[in-house]
């Protein structure tokens, strides 16, 4: 098994480098076009079908342009094509769905969009984005799921435009998800240098990312802020890195493992005092007001519900090992939880014994750690894979990022021991 895995990785690495990356681009855009077309024709989720109907044309155009680049050997245009394809395969479908939704279509947004907007409305009217268990229980059975908001309080910010200005395409939470995502990614690329084309593709045009942004979107700003934090660390800007990852952690708990890894990196490189205020301060500042208004509501939404102890069950039930164990084995939920804790302890031990000394190694820790957590969590989604995929791709880009006084891309032995 190990030899087969290494052989597969070797083949993928050679394909990634073939023709200065252009062969990989052709494959990526071609497979993405097929995925979008199949989604448009077969998906049972109407927002996904609508995405595929638009994105398939964008991917097809990108595939043809990538073929031209390959024939003419123009690798300098790869990044430009990446951004244009992101616009065609993610931003354009998002805009179309937002406009159609504002015009009365109720099947042009996933539940995540509604949840973020409801959080903004509650925050504006009650001072907390959460409903307590009694309030959720009083809702009609069909509305109780949307009564939950399993995000950090900062996510409510994306719902404030709709709370303030009403229903319009520009107040759709996805528009603001996309703006923050784009700003963070552009800043990250500027810091990382001209090399991370594949890494940017894995955070933008990869179908799992483009589809998520266009139909739901709440994970993309979290991911982009984490990538920005890693790029800031690679550039020696640990104060900015703390602010970026702290903002991500104020939106979703998924960013907390990244905070933990970058905390170790900051300590290892002597930058803890610069990193700590933003990394811990922003999540705390977002949490305290909501907790003071109704602490039990926060616990019900952010802790009990994701752990499967809410009034209703989370629909996040992709058939990964943790979910299958929880559903099929006696006491399976406890077995899966035990495996998850064991994996977390193992990663914590590795962080202590082999602490990352570069941002590239930190990205590896984040990527593999989140992949392990996603596979072992009893309640999870297939779409969460966008986090480890983008982080692992970003780790390769950071190896070749601009050298700084705090990073020596090839001097970290932990990078090769993981």
Q: What is the pLDDT along the chain (418 residues), one digit of tens a residue?
A: 334 434 444 555 566 666 678 898 999 999 999 999 999 999 999 999 999 999 999 999 999 999 999 998 888 889 999 999 999 999 999 999 999 999 999 999 999 999 999 999 999 999 999 999 999 999 998 888 889 999 999 999 999 999 999 999 999 999 999 999 999 999 999 998 766 888 899 999 999 999 999 999 899 999 999 999 999 999 999 999 999 999 999 999 989 999 999 999 999 999 999 999 999 999 999 999 998 999 999 999 998 888 777 888 777 677 888 878 878 888 877 888 888 889 889 999 999 999 999 999 999 999 999 999 889 888 778 888 999 999 999 987 776 555 444 444 444 444 433 4
pLDDT attached to residue 416 = 37
The reply to whether 90 and 127 lie within a common domain is no
The reply to whether 206 and 354 lie within a common domain is yes
The reply to whether 307 and 341 lie within a common domain is yes
Q: Domain boundary residue among 108, 124, 153? A: 108
The reply to whether 248 and 344 lie within a common domain is yes
The reply to whether 121 and 195 lie within a common domain is yes
Q: Give dist(CA 373, CA 354) in Å, integer.
A: 20
Does 10 map to a domain? Answer: no
Query: What's CA 267's distance to the chain center, in Å?
Result: 25
pLDDT attached to residue 12 = 52
Does 367 map to a domain? Answer: yes
Domain count, the chain: 2
Does 60 map to a domain? Answer: yes
Please give the backbone phi and psi of residue 196, each rounded to the nearest 5 degrees, phi first: -85, 55
Could you tell me the maximum CA-CA distance found in the chain, to the nearest angstrom?
A: 64
Q: Domain boundary residue among 80, 108, 136? A: 108
Please report, rounded to a whole number, the percentage of residues in the chain having pLDDT higher than 90: 67
pLDDT attached to residue 15 = 60
Q: Domain boundary residue among 81, 108, 135? A: 108
Q: Give dist(CA 328, CA 409) in Å, integer.
A: 45
CA-derived radius of gyration, the chain: 21
Q: Give dist(CA 405, CA 409) in Å, integer.
A: 11
The reply to whether 211 and 296 lie within a common domain is yes
Instruction: Write the DSSP symbol of residue 407.
Output: B
Both tokens assigned to 62 = 């990108």
The reply to whether 160 and 272 lie within a common domain is yes
Does 23 map to a domain? Answer: yes
SS3 content of the chain, % helix, strand, coil (to 5): 75, 0, 20
The reply to whether 45 and 118 lie within a common domain is no
Does 5 map to a domain? Answer: no
Alpha-helix residue ranges (DSSP H) falling in 193-218? 197-203, 207-215
Does 177 map to a domain? Answer: yes
Does 403 map to a domain? Answer: no
The reply to whether 148 and 200 lie within a common domain is yes
Q: Give dist(CA 222, CA 252) in Å, integer.
A: 7
Residue-range definition of the domain harbouring residue 192: 109-398
pLDDT attached to residue 146 = 87
Does 104 map to a domain? Answer: yes
pLDDT attached to residue 5 = 37
The reply to whether 117 and 234 lie within a common domain is yes
Residue whose token pair is 């190694």: 361
The reply to whether 20 and 84 lie within a common domain is yes
pLDDT attached to residue 194 = 62
* Strand positions, DSSP E, 305-415: none
Residues 6+ apart with CB under 8 A from 67: 26
In 3D space, the residue among 112, 176, 154, 177 whose CA is nearest the CA of residue 290 turns out to be 154
In 3D space, the residue among 417, 404, 389 whose CA is nearest the CA of residue 237 turns out to be 404
Return the SS3 of 102.
helix
Q: At what angle do helices 78-86 and 22-42 cross, to 10 degrees?
A: 10
Q: Give dist(CA 16, CA 21) in Å, integer.
A: 5
The reply to whether 88 and 138 lie within a common domain is no
């Amino acid at each position: 098994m190990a030899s087969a895995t290494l052989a597969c990785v070797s083949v993928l690495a050679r394909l990634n480098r073939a023709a200065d990356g252009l062969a990989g681009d052709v494959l990526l855009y071609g497979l993405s076009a097929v995925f979008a077309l199949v989604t448009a024709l077969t998906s049972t989720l109407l927002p996904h079908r609508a995405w595929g109907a638009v994105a398939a044309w964008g991917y097809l155009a990108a595939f043809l342009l990538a073929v031209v680049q390959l024939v003419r050997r123009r690798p300098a245009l790869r990044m430009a094509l990446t951004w244009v394809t992101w616009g065609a395969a993610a931003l354009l479908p998002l805009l179309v769905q937002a406009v159609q939704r504002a015009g009365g279509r109720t099947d042009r947004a996933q539940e995540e969009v509604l949840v973020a907007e409801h959080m903004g409305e509650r925050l504006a009217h009650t001072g907390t984005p959460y409903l307590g268990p009694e309030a959720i229980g009083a809702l009609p059975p069909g509305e109780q799921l949307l009564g939950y908001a399993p995000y950090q309080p900062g996510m409510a910010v994306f719902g404030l435009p709709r709370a303030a200005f009403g229903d319009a395409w520009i107040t759709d939470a996805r528009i603001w998800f996309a703006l923050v995502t784009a700003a963070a990614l552009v800043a990250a690329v500027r810091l990382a240098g001209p090399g991370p084309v594949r890494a940017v593709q894995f955070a933008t045009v990869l179908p799992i990312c483009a589809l998520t942004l266009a139909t739901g979107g709440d994970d993309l700003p979290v991911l982009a802020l984490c990538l920005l934090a890693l790029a800031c660390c690679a550039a020696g800007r640990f104060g900015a890195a703390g602010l970026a990852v702290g903002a991500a952690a104020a939106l979703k708990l998924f960013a907390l493992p990244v905070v933990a890894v970058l905390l170790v990196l900051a300590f290892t490189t002597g930058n803890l005092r610069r990193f700590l205020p933003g990394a811990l301060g922003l999540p705390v500042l977002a949490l305290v007001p909501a907790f003071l208004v109704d602490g039990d509501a926060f616990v019900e939404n952010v802790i009990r519900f994701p752990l499967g102890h809410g009034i209703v069950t989370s629909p996040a039930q992709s058939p990964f090992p943790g979910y299958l164990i929880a559903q099929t084995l006696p006491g399976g939920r406890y077995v899966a939880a035990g495996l998850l804790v064991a994996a977390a302890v193992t990663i914590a031990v590795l962080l202590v014994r082999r602490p990352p000394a570069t941002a590239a190694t930190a990205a590896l820790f984040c990527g593999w750690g989140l992949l392990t957590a996603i596979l072992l969590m009893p309640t999870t989604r297939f779409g969460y894979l966008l986090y480890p995929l983008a982080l692992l791709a970003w780790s390769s880009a950071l190896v070749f990022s601009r050298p700084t006084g705090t990073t020596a891309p090839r001097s970290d032995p932990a990078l090769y021991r993981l």
